[in-house]
Amino acid sequence: MKVVHIAFECAPVYKTGGLGDVVGSLPKYQMQLGVTAAVVMPGYSFIRRLHKLPHSQVPIIYAESELFTEELKSCTPRLQANAYLEFNIKALSVLKENGIRPDIIHCHDWHAGLIPGLVKHTTDSFFKDTKTVLSIHNIGYQGNFKKELFDGERGKVVHDLVNARGKRLNFLKEGIRSADFILTVSPNHAREIRERRVGFGLGRVIRAKRGRFAGILNGIDYDVWNPHTDKYLYQEYNRKTVVQGKTVNKTRLQQELGLEINNDIPLVGFVARLSTQKGIDLLAPIIPKLPRRRVQLVILGTGEKKFERTLKAYTNRRFSEWISVNLRFDETTAHRIYAACDFLLIPSHYEPCGLTQMIAVAYSALPIASAVGGLKDTIEEGRTGFLFHELNSETLLNTIERALAVWENPEQYRKMRAQALRKNFSWEKSAAEYIKIYKKLF
Ligand code: ADP
C-alpha cells in the first residue's frame, strides 16, 4: 500500500508545533509495518531541505512555489490563503510529475484541506483510485478565508473546484466534506466532538460522517525524545541514572537561566504556543500566587503578543530567582526543560492529543494537566500525573499545590515517577490502527 502524507510542516525540516513531530515520525513507523510512505510539504525558501526523514527511507518531496516564503510566518490571511491553496494544487502536481499514484493521500490539518475535494472533483484520471483521509490535529484552526483574498487564477480554482456558494472558503470544512475518512488524534477528543463538547462550528459536518470518523492516539518518536540519546541535554540519562541525570540537567539549566541553584525546589515547566488554547490565561494570573520558596517556574513559548506582554511582567528582578520566562521557539531549550523539570504544566482549554505530556513522562517529569482531549487518554490521575476538571485558575493553583505536596513526600514522588516511566507512548500500535482504517476504504 502506498501512502502519501501531505502537511505544511514536518520535523526536523520545519516545525511550529506537534503536527511537525507527527508528520516527521508517523510515516516512518508505517513504513516499518510494510507500507510505502512518503511526505509532501512546501519547499519553503527558509528551510534546510532533507530528502528523507532521519533514521528512515521515507522520502520528503517538496511542492515548489515562489509563495512559500518566510513572510508566511506572519500569518497574514491573504498570504496564507494564496500560499496554501497553491500548496494543495502543487502537492498533487508534484506527485503526478514523479509518477507517484498513492492508494491513500493522508492530509493533515487545514493547510491540506482542499486536497480531498481536488482529488474527488478532478477530471484527470491519475488519482481516480486514490482515497483521501483527513486528520484534524487542531480543529480551532480552520483556514477560513474570504474568497476575495484569492488572487486571479487561484480565485478561479477556488470557484471551480470547491463549494462555489458563500463568501468564504473554509479549508478544513471542505476537507471534512470531501475526504473518505476523518480522523482526529485521540479517542477522547473524537468523543468530545461527537458529544458536542468541542467543535468550533464544524461538529455537525463531522458528525455527518457517521462511521467515517475516529480518533487514534498520537505517539512520540523515541528516536527524537529519548533522554538516553538526546544530544541537546547537558547530560544524557537512562532509567537507572535518572535521579543523578536529572539533577545535573536541573542544576545546569538553573545556572543558565539565572534561577537559584537548588535541587530541593521542584522545577515546573511550561512549553507551549502562547495561545488561549494552551491555558496561558489560566496560568498567568496565578504566577504571583505560587509559593515562591517551594517552587520554580520555567516558561518557553511564543505566540500571541498579548500573552507575551503579560509574561514579560515576570521577567524583572523580583521574580528572576524563581521564574524564568523565555519568549522564543527554541528546540534546544525545550529538550533541556523536559530533562530538568520535575513537573510540566499543561492547563489547556482543549487539547486534541498533546505531545508535551508524553515527552515529559519520557524525560521523567510529571504532567499537571487539564482533563481534556488526549491529556485524559494519556495521564492517569494520581499515578502518572495530576489532572484537574474545572478549567479555572483557582483549580489550577490547587492542583499545583497537590503536586508540590507529592514532591515534599519523596517516597510518593519516587513511586509516581516509577509508574510514569513504565508508560510507553511509542507509535507502533497507532501506526497499525491507521493502516487498518486505510484498508477499510477499499
Ligand atoms: P501543539 O501542536 O498544539 O502546539 P503539542 O503538545 O501537540 O502542541 O506539540 C507541541 C510541540 O512543539 C512539542 O514538540 C513541543 O516541545 C514543541 N514546542 C512548543 N513550543 C515550543 C517552543 N517555544 N520552543 C520549542 N519547542 C516548542
Cα-to-chain-centroid distance, residue 134: 16
- pLDDT tens per residue across span 264-291: 999 999 999 999 999 999 999 999 999 9
- Identify the three-state secondary structure at position 281: helix
Specify which residues 335 forms β-bridges with.
none
Asked whether the whole model's pTM tops 0.95, one would answer yes
Task: Tell me the three cell numbers of residue 442.
Answer: 477499499
Checking if the pLDDT of 199 tops 90, the result is yes
Instruction: Report which DSSP code applies to 285.
Output: G
Q: Which pLDDT score, from 0 to 100, does residue 278 have?
A: 98
Q: Which pLDDT score, from 0 to 100, does residue 123 have?
A: 80
User: Does the Cβ of 369 fall within 6 Å of ligand 1?
Assistant: no
- pLDDT tens per residue across span 304-349: 999 999 999 999 989 999 999 999 999 999 999 999 999 999 999 9
Residues of the chain above pLDDT 90, percent? 94
Query: How far are the Cα atoms of 104, 113, 170, 325, 426 from residue 162, in angstroms, in the given order?
Result: 21, 11, 10, 44, 38
- pLDDT tens per residue across span 21-72: 999 999 999 999 999 999 999 999 999 999 999 999 999 999 999 999 999 9
Query: How far are the Cα atoms of 17, 36, 42, 91, 115 from residue 56, in angstroms, in the given order?
Result: 21, 12, 20, 22, 26
d(CA 293, CA 275): 29
Q: Which ligand 1 atom lies nearest to the CA of residue 302?
A: 23
- pLDDT tens per residue across span 100-144: 999 999 999 999 999 999 999 888 899 999 999 999 999 999 999
User: Does the Cβ of 21 fall within 6 Å of ligand 1?
Assistant: yes
User: Does the Cβ of 17 fall within 6 Å of ligand 1?
Assistant: yes
Pocket mutation for ligand 1, best pick of 108, 270, 355, 377 (most atoms within 8 Å of C-beta):
355
Task: Tell me the three cell numbers of residue 313.
Answer: 511582567
Look over the chain and give the mean of its residue pLDDT values, rounded to a whole number: 96
User: Does the Cβ of 428 fall within 6 Å of ligand 1?
Assistant: no
d(CA 337, CA 268): 9
Checking if the pLDDT of 94 tops 90, the result is yes
- pLDDT tens per residue across span 133-190: 999 999 999 999 999 999 888 888 777 766 667 789 999 999 999 999 999 999 999 9
Query: How far are the Cα atoms of 138, 237, 265, 289, 340 from residue 292, in angstroms, in the given order?
Result: 35, 29, 10, 8, 18
Pocket mutation for ligand 1, best pick of 19, 21, 325 (most atoms within 8 Å of C-beta):
21
- pLDDT tens per residue across span 389-414: 999 999 999 999 999 999 999 999 99
What sign does the CA torsion over 144, 25, 183, 191 have? negative
Asked if 175 and 107 touch (Cβ cutoff 8 Å), the reply is yes
Beta strands in 121-224 (DSSP E): 131-136, 144-146, 168-170, 181-184, 213-215
User: Does the Cβ of 290 fall within 6 Å of ligand 1?
Assistant: no
Phi, psi of 365 (to 5 degrees): -120, 140
